[in-house]
C-alpha cells in the first residue's frame, strides 16, 4: 500500500487529538478529584456512584428522623418528670390532710393546693413538640385535655370500645429500613386516672387515708411509663450508633468507587505529557516541506 504525505499528516493529527483527549481527562480528574466526571467516562462507576449516593442520602434522612425521635422522647420524659414532682407534692399534702389533728380550715387549704396541682397536670397533658401534642396518640393536632374533660378511652369501664382509640394509638417514625420506633407515650389513661384521683380529693367526703394509697398507685404507673420511655431512649442511642457506622461505610465505599489516587493520576499525567511531546517532535519530522514551499 502506498503511504502518502496526506495519510501521514492525518494519522499524526488523529494521534495528537487522542493524546490531547487523554491529557484533558487526566486534568479533569486532578481538578475534581473524581474518576468520573460524566457518565460516559465509566458507566459502571457512574451507576455504582448513584447507588452509594442514594444509600448515603437515605442514612442522612434516617439520622434526621432520629433527631425527631430524640425530640419527642426527651420532651416526654421531661413532661412526665414534672408530673412526678406534682404527685410527690400531692402525696405530702394528702399525708398532712390524713392527720386527724388537722382542722377543717387547714384541709380546705390543702384542697386548694391540690386543685392547683390538678390544673398543672392537666396543662402537662397538653404538652406540645412543635405543633404536635405529645400525649394525644395519633391525634397529634388535638389536645388530650379539652373543654374541661379527657376523651373517652377504650379502657373506660363505662364505655368499652372494640379497640384502642386514636388517643391510645402509637406514633411511629422510620429510623432504618423496615425499622420503626414508637416515639409517643400513650399515657391518656394515666392522666385520666390521675385527674379522677384529684377530683376525689376536693369533695366534702374526701378520704385522705385511702388517698395515700391512690397517690402511690399513680406514682407507680408513672414510673412504669418513664421506664418505658427510658428503654426507648436507650434503643434510639443504639440505632444512632448503627446509623453512624452505616454512614461511614457508605461514604467509604463511595470514596473508593469515585475518588482518584492523586499519586497515580499525577504519574499518568507526567507520562502522557512525555508521550505527547514525543508525538509532537515526531510529527514535526513527518510533515516535511512540499515542492510548493521550494517554488515560492
Which CATH code is given to the segment(s) 46-254? 1.20.1330.10
Spatial separation of the C-alpha atoms in residues 110 and 98, rounded to whole Å = 11
pLDDT of amino acid 17 = 80
Residue boundaries of the structural domains of the chain? 5-33+260-295, 46-254
pTM summary value:
0.75
In whole angstroms, give the CA distance from residue 41 to residue 49: 13
Residue-wise pLDDT tens digits, 38-80: 777 677 777 887 888 888 889 899 999 999 999 999 999 999 9
96: Cα separation from own chain's centroid: 48
Q: pLDDT at residue 217 above 90?
A: yes
Number of other CB atoms surrounding residue 168 within 10 Å: 20
254-292 confidence digits (pLDDT tens): 777 777 777 887 888 888 787 778 777 777 766 665 555
Max Cα separation, the chain?
Answer: 136
Please name the residues in contact with 120: beta carbons below 8 A apart, sequence gap of 6 or more: 82, 86
pLDDT of 187-211, one tens digit each?
999 999 999 999 988 876 778 888 8
| Res 4: pLDDT | 67
pLDDT classification of 116: cutoffs 50, 70, 90? very high
DSSP run (H or E) holding 46: helix 43-97
Amino acid at each position: 500500500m502506498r503511504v502518502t504525505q496526506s495519510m501521514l499528516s492525518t494519522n499524526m493529527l488523529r494521534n495528537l487529538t487522542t493524546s490531547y483527549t487523554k491529557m484533558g481527562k487526566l486534568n479533569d480528574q486532578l481538578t475534581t478529584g473524581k474518576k468520573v466526571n460524566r457518565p460516559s467516562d465509566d458507566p459502571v462507576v457512574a451507576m455504582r456512584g448513584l447507588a452509594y449516593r442514594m444509600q448515603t442520602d437515605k442514612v442522612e434522612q434516617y439520622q434526621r428522623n432520629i433527631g425527631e425521635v430524640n425530640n419527642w422522647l426527651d420532651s416526654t420524659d421531661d413532661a412526665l418528670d414534672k408530673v412526678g414532682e406534682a404527685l410527690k407534692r400531692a402525696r405530702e399534702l394528702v399525708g398532712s390532710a390524713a392527720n386527724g389533728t388537722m382542722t377543717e380550715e387547714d384541709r380546705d387549704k390543702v384542697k386548694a393546693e391540690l386543685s392547683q396541682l390538678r390544673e398543672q397536670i392537666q396543662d402537662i397533658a397538653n404538652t406540645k413538640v412543635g405543633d404536635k401534642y405529645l400525649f394525644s396518640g395519633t391525634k397529634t393536632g388535638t389536645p388530650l385535655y379539652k373543654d374541661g374533660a379527657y376523651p373517652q378511652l377504650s379502657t373506660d369501664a363505662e364505655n368499652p370500645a372494640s379497640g384502642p382509640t386514636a388517643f391510645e394509638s402509637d406514633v411511629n417514625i422510620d429510623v432504618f429500613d423496615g425499622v420503626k420506633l414508637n416515639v409517643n407515650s400513650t399515657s391518656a389513661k394515666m392522666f385520666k386516672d390521675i385527674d379522677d384521683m384529684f377530683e376525689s380529693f376536693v369533695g366534702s367526703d374526701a378520704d385522705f387515708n385511702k388517698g395515700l394509697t391512690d397517690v402511690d398507685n399513680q406514682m407507680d404507673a408513672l414510673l412504669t411509663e418513664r421506664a418505658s420511655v427510658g428503654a426507648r431512649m436507650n434503643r434510639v442511642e443504639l440505632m444512632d450508633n448503627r446509623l453512624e457506622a452505616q454512614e461511614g461505610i457508605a461514604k467509604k465505599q463511595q470514596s473508593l468507587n469515585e475518588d482518584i489516587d492523586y499519586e497515580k493520576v499525577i504519574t499518568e499525567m507526567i507520562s502522557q505529557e512525555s508521550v505527547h511531546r514525543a508525538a509532537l517532535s515526531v510529527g514535526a519530522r513527518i510533515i516535511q516541506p512540499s515542492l510548493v514551499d521550494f517554488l515560492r
